[in-house]
Every structure is written in C-alpha cells, then in structure tokens.
Structure 1
C-alpha cells in the first residue's frame, strides 16, 4: 500500500484539477482518509511534499494564511535537512528518501518567500541591536568603569560580536519553531496527526 500513496495523492490532485481547483466535500473526504491512512507510515519525500502541497492549496482557497505558512515551513524544513544532512542525529525517520525531488525545488522556494522576507527583516533588526549593544557597552566601559578607549572598544566589540553570532545561528531554528507553533493552531487535526510522528523525531 505504501507504494500506492503517491498514486492516490496524484489522483486526488487530478480530481481537484477536474473540479477547477475547488475542494469539494468529496475531495476533502478522500484526502483526509488517505492522510489518515498514511499516519505513522514510512513514506517518500515526494509523498510527504504532495500532502503538504495539497493542503497548502486547500488553505489558499480558504484564505488561511497561517495554514499556508505551516505547510510551507514543513516543506522548507525537510528540504533544508535533506540538503545538509549534517546532524549526527537521525531526523525524519519516516521519510525514506535522502533528497528532495527536483520538481519541488522551485515550488518550495516560491511558497516560502514570506519566510525569507521576514527573516531578512529580523537579521536587520539583529544587526541594529548589535550596534546599539556595542555603543552602550563602550560607553559603560569607558565612562562609568574608567576603561581606556582602546580596551573598552575591544571588549565591547567582542561581547557584541559574540552576542550577534549566537543569536544569528539560533535565530532560524527558533523563528521556524515559533512560526510553526503559531500556524499549527489554524491547521486541522487530520494534518497535525499525520505530521506529528514526523515532527516528533526532530
């Protein structure tokens, strides 16, 4: 049955196209039943992405931006992990593939645009906060603690850079996690129950 999942998902997608992209009750019922059947099963990356793609289209029709964000983030997370595979700990144990199908590369890039734009803004804010921290530390060290300007400059710069690098490294993971938790509140249980065994392995 596992090998038939992508075929069945493609059939749901075909039915959706024949219905002019509208999610009828019959299509939703068919998709929900299939996703429920897939819960906890080892599936291919393409099957996982197809599920997220179909639900993304559903939420797009419903004007559910949070639901769209959830699907886009989960696709992006899988793509990044399979591309890097740098972790010593095995993640996505239910995903049998080790790479993303090329046909999804452009799709994921397009649907995760909101993430790149928001993250770019967060990086700019982090840089601004780092500059403010440096100035505040320099003033504190040189004026209040009577450090020489050169020593105060080096110490303030060191602390500001360490703070920046620590936050810069942790920011993507923390941001995605917070976005995922917030968006998950606007996603139906059938998708969350399908996704939970995969998410819980991370």
Structure 2
C-alpha cells in the first residue's frame, strides 16, 4: 500500500525543521487539516507513525506530557506489531510496509521503549498479586480446610499458571487499553479520531 499522506506530513516536518523544530500555529493548523483528511481512510503504518511523530512535537511545544506519551506508546506499539507479524490482526486497521521512514526511525531510537515497559510492568503486577493470592490460599487450604499440603500445592500451582496465562492474554491488554484511554483525554480530538479508526481494539 502506498503512503498516501506521508508526503504532505513530511512537508510539515521539513517546515518545522526550518523553524528550529518549533511548531508554529500555522503548522499546527496544517497538521490538523491533514489529520482530518486521514479520518476513516486506509492508512499505512508510515502514514500513522509520521502523524503521531508530528503530534508528539506539537504536544512537546505545548508541554503536554500526557499527549506526548500517548504518541510514543502508539508509535512503539505499531513498530512492535511491524516486527512481530504473528501479532497483527484485523482489529488493527493498518497496512504494514517493509521499511520505516528514516527520520521516524531515528526519532524512536532516541526514546525509551515505553510500550514494552508498560506491558512488562502490568504483567509483573499480575505475578505479584497472583503469588500473594497463591500463598494465602495455600495457608487456608492446609490450615483451615485441612487439605493435604501436596494436593493443595499442586492444585494451586496449576491455578497460578492458568491465572497468569489468562492475565497475559486478556488482563495485560485490558489494563494497557485503560492507560491509553486515560492518556487520550489530553490528545487533540482530530488525531484521536484517526487513532480510533485504526485501533478498533487494542492488541
């Protein structure tokens, strides 16, 4: 699929660079116009990545840290999906190309991987809570219900594994989506409409 909007977005990028990376009101308005034209249109990954990168810079000028984090999470999520084709589903309305725009690639290389860190932190919380529940239930089964230790141990280990598998598949995406929804409250409505047209369901 062709990057239909990439050329227009890169023109804004060039003009912003000529303005020492400062987003003027004129460039912000132009960015919103292009984003408006992208709503409900078929997009490539490069189209969306460049749009998010430019909004990141716009939010940076406005000192909108929540909006900046939203853009980074979405960009890093797309790059992850691009590198892990088995994770791509029809729920993500995006055409993936072979290469990432060089400037976008350089931009992302300077940033921490907030996407992977977020998923890891959420899963670690599930492990902690699941382990605490396991210990408490083991004590109850053995001391209160007088179930043999070996039986209780095996049953609860199986339950512990099942809960973590479920958490990995369902719980982590759910809480990641919740975080995205919270951050989206600080994102321009036009950009958010483009985003919602792509991420009909968080992977």
The Cα of 1:106 is off from its aligned counterpart by 5.8
Is 2:95 the partner of 1:96?
Answer: yes
Aligned match of 1:138? 138
Aligned pairs for 1:41-190 within 5 A: 41-86=41-86, 89-93=89-93, 95-99=94-98, 101=100, 103=102, 104-105=104-105, 107-108=107-108, 110-111=110-111, 113-190=113-190
Return the alpha-carbon distance in structure 2 between the equivalents of residues 8 and 37 of structure 1.
Answer: 11
- The TM-score, its normalising length taken from structure 1, stands at 0.84
Return the alpha-carbon distance in structure 2 between the equivalents of residues 18 and 198 of structure 1.
Answer: 31
Q: Which runs of 5+ in 1 are unaligned?
A: none
The Cα of 1:18 is off from its aligned counterpart by 1.0
Question: What are the Cα deviations for residues 127-171 of structure 1, in whole angstroms up to 9, with x where unaligned?
Answer: 222221121111111111111111111112222222122213324
Equivalent residue of 1:63, what SS? Answer: coil
RMSD of aligned Cα (Å): 2.6
Aligned match of 1:40? 40
Q: Which moved more, 1:9-18 or 1:191-200?
A: 191-200
Aligned match of 1:7? 7
- The TM-score, its normalising length taken from structure 2, stands at 0.84
Return the alpha-carbon distance in structure 2 between the equivalents of residues 130 and 200 of structure 1.
Answer: 30
Q: Which moved more, 1:66-75 or 1:116-125?
A: 116-125
The Cα of 1:196 is off from its aligned counterpart by 2.5
